[in-house]
């Protein structure tokens, strides 16, 4: 909830002494500056003499009162050098004080080599408590042309979509963690968002009215359709309460801004997980087709197919064969029982030169409808004791009930299952339904934990510590930004399978979330299924994975079908493998497709440019490739289509429900 009222302080205090300057100028980047008015408690941001943001304020709630930087407060400022992951810079602090108020610090981090600044609100006092801080609320100039504001989801659950909405008054859009407003024609745009996610959930609201445009970033954001919470954000408590650091920038190309934002997240919150330095992951996951029909026999036949018929489908010396849900069918006596058959599978994969993978959802109870008195494996607790408390009920989503990430039963259960899977020798784990661990709760077992993101941090740090450095760690359903510390690769969307509609759904997330390729080692398009779809739909689904960054297949390769023949032909194509090895998402060419996906994506690899084109419609479509719009230098190129190997020109006609990948190589002059 955003609050707009202001505390009227009963005892007025002086503004600033006449001897102190009333304006502070803070330079950053190339020709950018923040100009802070100490008398008013507001600031503007400029590029040269051009106004980027204006009338910017900060506000926070303490108990039941709201305080704004524009209130009658005494203000002073100080600066000091800073040298951190962002480089050498300067830290400016505007301190606000008033009767019966905690000390309020409005902090700015600026760097000469960065086209953004970071800002934060820090409250200092005794036993403070707040569940809402607005570190940034400011006006932006009118956005001309094809103006857009993107809805960015908090996670990738419930088939939620990104949405590049038209930014025309009257308009309001609330986005999770980061927001951007831009002109798709010129690509000029504003980017604002949180780069820290260990305590707060953050929302970004972009509004357009007859009186002007505004962007507001606030910590303490909950919304059931987005963050999945049906209660308010938890209170952050302590003698010092900090908002997250907020990234604020303006860019000639909003896409560059989003990539810089992702990189800033990885700097501000360095990975907790060990760094993955091995090649781009490729392989297979059983959920694509087998699902609950998974057996030891079928899984080992898939390993045989990869060893014998897909032996060149590699980015290094191996591929992953990953068992999804229902691997517990191979156990005798449940999770506390005999894992020998599972170990036999892992050993079999290794004997074939492959790496075994497995799956688990550590923060969910799927059997909650059977009652609260069931024992949690590996513990002396019952499930009812672990359920995340939400008001008078519990946190249920996707058919599963959330368990408290701070409860000793949850942690002991992790000890049991992860210990057994490591003993089996697994080299990859897909962890799922992580969003359940972020739920705001009326009470966590650990009294020091009062917000959903604090709980997520505690649960994930414990899980990753137990996993150690034995496995590639892959997140499926999970928070988009907050998971960057904990996993190597993350699914970009949710349960996409084989159809052209599935391809467009996946690429909606790539169109507006591709920048996460700089937050994770890899992002992933989920299980790629060919099955019995048309050749064009198969080609599109495969290429949707290629341009996302990794390639995890999902067909039932234990039996023969058209999917196996096409896989042998396409997946081992050296040109396709060269793109996969690059491991980075392609960039969208257009950002005005609403809830749909861009049709063109581009990536530079070495000295070549690659352009992927998708026709999601049921009719043939022509595409005229524009070098300037694609971002290709005006050179002479040799142009070839990767899958067909044929030379082509710049006018492309694609059949219905099809896709193509073009390579542009510089011609020798």
- pLDDT tens, 201-228? 999 999 999 889 999 999 999 999 999 9
Residue 350 tokens read as: 């290794």
Provide the pLDDT for residue 4.
Answer: 37
Give 7's pLDDT tier (boundaries 50, 70, 90).
very low
Selected from 2.102.10.10, 3.30.70.1350, 2.60.40.1180, 3.30.70.270, the CATH number assigned to the domain covering 600-666 reads: 2.60.40.1180
Q: Per-residue pLDDT for 589 more than 90?
A: yes
**Quick one: pLDDT band at residue 636, thresholds 50, 70, 90?**
confident
Distance CA 159, CA 151 (A): 14
Calculate mean pLDDT across residues 324-337: 97
Q: What percent of the chain has pLDDT over 70?
A: 96
Q: What pLDDT, on a 0 to 100 scale, did the predictor assign at position 20? A: 56
pLDDT at 99 over 90: no
pLDDT digits (tens, 9 = 90+) for 28-58: 999 999 999 999 999 999 999 999 999 999 9
Sign of CA dihedral 343, 344, 347, 352: negative
* Better pLDDT: 213 or 11: 213
Fold equal for 23-268 and 600-666: no
Closest CA to 42 of 6, 69, 17, 12: 69
For residue 19, pLDDT beyond 80? no
* pLDDT per position as a tens digit, 380-427: 999 999 999 998 899 999 999 999 999 999 999 999 999 999 999 999
pLDDT for 247 beyond 50: yes
Q: What is residue 156's DSSP assignment?
A: S
Q: Does domain 23-268 have CATH number 2.70.98.10?
A: yes
| Paired residues of 136 in beta bridges | 217
pLDDT given at position 210:
86
Query: What pLDDT does residue 667 have?
Result: 77
Asked if pLDDT for residue 17 goes beyond 90, the answer is no
Least confidently predicted of 16-30, 496-510, 536-550, 628-642: 16-30
- Average pLDDT of the chain to the nearest whole number: 94
Residue 8, pLDDT > 60, answer no
Q: What separation in angstroms does the CA of 653 have from each of 252, 499, 568?
A: 31, 21, 26
Structure confidence by residue, pLDDT tens digits, 533-586: 999 999 999 999 999 999 999 999 999 999 999 999 999 999 999 999 999 999
Res 10: pLDDT: 29
Q: Judge whether residue 12 has pLDDT over 90.
A: no
Band of the pLDDT at 668, cuts 50, 70, 90?
A: low
In whole angstroms, what is the distance from residue 133 CA to residue 118 CA?
15
pTM: 0.95
409 CB burial (10 A radius; 0-12, 13-18, 19+): buried
Residue 334 CB partners (closer than 8 Å, separation 6+): 328, 377
% of the chain residues with pLDDT over 90: 91
Tally of CB atoms within 10 A around 451: 24
* Cα 606 from Cα 530, distance rounded (Å): 30
What residue ranges do the domains of the chain occupy? Answer: 23-268, 600-666
Tokens at 63, concatenated: 């108990």
């Amino acid at each position: 909830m955003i609050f707009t009222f202001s505390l009227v302080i009963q005892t007025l205090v002086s503004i600033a002494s006449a001897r102190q300057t009333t304006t502070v100028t803070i330079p950053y980047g190339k020709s950018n500056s923040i100009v802070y008015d100490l008398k008013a408690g507001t600031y503007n941001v400029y590029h040269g003499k051009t106004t980027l943001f204006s009338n910017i304020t900060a506000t926070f709630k303490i108990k039941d009162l709201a305080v704004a930087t524009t209130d009658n407060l005494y203000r002073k400022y100080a600066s000091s050098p800073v040298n951190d992951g962002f480089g050498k810079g300067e830290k400016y602090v505007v301190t606000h004080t008033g009767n019966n108020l905690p000390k309020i610090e409005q902090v700015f981090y600026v760097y000469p080599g960065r086209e953004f600044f970071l800002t934060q609100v820090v409250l200092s006092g005794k036993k403070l408590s707040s569940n809402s801080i607005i570190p940034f609320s400011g006006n932006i100039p009118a956005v001309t042309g094809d103006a857009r504001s993107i809805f960015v989801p908090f996670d990738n659950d419930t088939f939620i979509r990104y949405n590049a909405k038209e930014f025309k008054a009257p308009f309001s859009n609330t986005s999770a963690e980061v927001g951007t407003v831009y002109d798709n024609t010129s690509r000029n745009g504003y980017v604002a968002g949180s780069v820290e996610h260990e305590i707060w959930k953050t929302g970004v609201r972009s509004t357009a009215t007859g009186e002007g445009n505004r962007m507001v970033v606030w910590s303490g954001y909950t919304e059931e359709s987005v963050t999945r919470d049906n209660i308010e954000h938890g209170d952050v408590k302590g003698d010092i309460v900090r908002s997250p650091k907020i990234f604020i920038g303006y860019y000639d190309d909003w896409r560059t801004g989003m990539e810089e934002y992702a990189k800033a997240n990885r700097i501000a919150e360095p990975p907790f997980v060990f760094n993955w330095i091995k090649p781009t992951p490729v392989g297979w996951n059983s959920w694509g087709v087998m699902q609950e029909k998974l057996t030891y026999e079928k899984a080992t036949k898939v390993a045989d197919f990869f060893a014998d018929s897909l032996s060149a489908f590699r980015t290094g010396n191996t591929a992953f064969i990953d068992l999804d849900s229902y691997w517990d069918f191979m156990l005798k006596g449940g999770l506390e029982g005999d894992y020998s058959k599972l170990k036999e599978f892992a050993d079999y994969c290794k004997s074939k030169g492959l790496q075994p993978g497995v799956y688990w959802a550590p923060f969910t109870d799927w059997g909650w409808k059977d009652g609260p008195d069931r024992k949690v494996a590996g513990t002396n607790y019952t499930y009812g004791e672990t359920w995340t408390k939400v008001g008078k009920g519990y946190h249920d989503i996707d058919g599963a009930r959330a368990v408290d990430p701070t409860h000793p039963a949850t942690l002991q259960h992790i000890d049991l299952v992860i210990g057994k899977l490591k003993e089996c020798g697994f080299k990859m784990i897909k962890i799922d339904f992580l969003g359940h661990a972020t739920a705001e709760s009326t009470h966590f077992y650990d009294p020091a934990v009062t917000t959903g993101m604090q709980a997520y941090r505690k649960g994930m740090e414990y899980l990753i510590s137990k996993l150690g450095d034995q496995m590639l760690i892959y997140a499926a359903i999970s928070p988009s930004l907050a998971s960057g510390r904990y996993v190597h690769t993350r699914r970009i969307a949710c349960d996409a399978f084989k159809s052209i509609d599935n391809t467009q759904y996946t690429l909606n997330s790539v169109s507006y979330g591709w920048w996460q390729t700089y937050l994770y080692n890899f992002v992933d398009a989920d299980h790629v299924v060919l099955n019995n779809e048309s050749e064009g739909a198969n080609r599109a689904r495969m290429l949707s994975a290629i341009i996302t960054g990794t390639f995890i297949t999902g067909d039932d390769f234990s039996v023969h079908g058209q999917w196996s023949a096409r896989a042998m032909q396409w997946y081992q194509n050296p040109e396709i493998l060269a793109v996969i090895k690059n491991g980075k998402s392609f960039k969208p060419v257009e950002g005005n497709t609403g809830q749909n996906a861009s049709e063109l994506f581009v990536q530079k690899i070495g000295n070549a440019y690659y352009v992927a084109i998708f026709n999601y419609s049921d009719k043939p479509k022509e595409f005229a490739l524009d070098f300037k719009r694609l971002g290709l230098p005006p050179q002479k190129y040799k142009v070839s289509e990767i899958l067909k190997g044929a030379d082509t020109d710049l006018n492309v006609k694609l059949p219905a429900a099809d896709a193509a990948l073009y390579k542009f190589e510089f011609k020798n002059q």
